[in-house]
Amino acid sequence: MDNLPEFAPGSVWLAGAGPGDPGLLTLHAVNGIRQADVIVHDALVSHQILNVIDRKERLEYAGKRGGKPSPQQRDISLRLIELARRNKRVLRLKGGDPFVFGRGGEEALALAREDIPFRIIPGVTAGVGGLAYAGIPATHRSVNTVVSFITGHTLSGDHEGVDWAALSRGSPVLVFYMGLSRLATIRDNLIAAGREPDHPMALVSKAATPDQQVVITTLADCVDSAAKSGIGAPVIIAVGKVVDLQASLNWFDPRELGSGAPFGDDIQPVKPAGHD
Ligand code: SAH
């Protein structure tokens, strides 16, 4: 750890915490945790990770502040700026990778605009590492040369923002973030775009945590399977033949991470039927 950078007062490090297992924190993230004066985290940083952080009085939850029901992105950026201006070493800790559907770019831009020095610490994103904990490779030589990461957050009945035909034709493997409440939309559009109804699909809930649950299903059955299994957010969704490998590669025993709920109630949708 000797050659890792020193955390300068008045700067912000935007770090990914990975999907849940503390073992997936990078050395840079651990180095940031050791030196930080304040750690501003969100609901997707697992309790197992928060538990390995000492001096808990440094933790500040960015989910709900000032009695407001949901965080405004602007408030979080302003808070980071305010803490840096007070000469704190500010670690902004986010679930997964800060630059993958994590609004890390917006926070970094806000810091850049204010000339606040920052560092980006990538993390293991759920769409790669979360699937790996379920025994699903994002790519596999005989299956796909392309993989797409898609946010379900903005998907709506009218396919806003997504060219389903192009996706279905060009990307054998599709990984959806924030898609649990959009399963019917995903199913209908992919089947309409030519994917077989029995095309394999995996729903991985609370990946890389003691509560990890893997539901193997098909496009046609995914809504029913999700309902029957009772899985809850966060869920990462894989569509494609890499899912078939799960039967042979399912290596992870969630009990190795102990017990205890990995995420709080805050993980429930921030906006109705939206953010999961
Ligand atoms: N920056 C994060 C993504 C944030 S968007 C990353 O790189 O992973 C929130 C979505 O991420 C969730 O809806 C879910 O789809 C996915 N996600 C994050 N952590 C997860 C976990 N431990 N298990 C399953 N899905 C997860």
Average pLDDT over residues 78-86: 97
Q: What is the pLDDT of residue 160?
A: 64
Residue to mutate (ligand 1; options 120, 177, 183, 270; most atoms within 8 A of CB): 177
The rounded Å distance from CA 270 to ligand 1 centre is 14
The rounded Å distance from CA 116 to ligand 1 centre is 28
Q: What is the pLDDT of residue 267?
A: 64
For residues 265 and 163, the model is more confident at 163
Q: pLDDT tens digits, residue range 128-156?
A: 999 999 999 999 999 999 999 999 877 66
Please list the active-site residues: 42, 64, 178
Q: pLDDT tens digits, residue range 107-126?
A: 999 999 999 999 999 999 99
Going by alpha carbons, the residue nearest to atom 18 of ligand 1 is 126
Ligand 1, closest atom to CA 46?
Answer: 22
Ligand 1, closest atom to CA 129?
Answer: 8
The rounded Å distance from CA 100 to ligand 1 centre is 9
Residue to mutate (ligand 1; options 151, 174, 181, 235; most atoms within 8 A of CB): 235
Could you tell me which residues are beta bridge partners of residue 59?
39
pLDDT exceeds 90 at position 66: no
Q: Which of 42-56, 59-73, 142-156, 157-171 has the highest mean pLDDT?
A: 42-56
Tokens 């998907």 found at: 155
Q: Which of 42-46, 73-77, 164-168 has the lowest mean pLDDT?
A: 73-77
Average pLDDT over residues 28-38: 98
Would the CB of 177 count as within 6 Å of ligand 1? yes
Q: For residues 7 and 48, what is the distance between their CA atoms, to the nearest angstrom?
A: 24
- Asked if 215 and 225 count as a contact pair (C-beta separation under 8 A), the reply is yes
CA distances from 229 to 42, 216, 217, 267 (A): 26, 10, 11, 18
Domains of the chain with CATH codes? 12-124 (3.40.1010.10), 127-252 (3.30.950.10)
Give just the sign of the alpha carbon dihedral 95, 96, 102, 106: positive
Average pLDDT over residues 171-199: 96
**Rounded mean pLDDT of the chain?**
92
pLDDT exceeds 60 at position 184: yes
Average pLDDT over residues 209-214: 98
Ligand 1, closest atom to CA 212?
Answer: 23
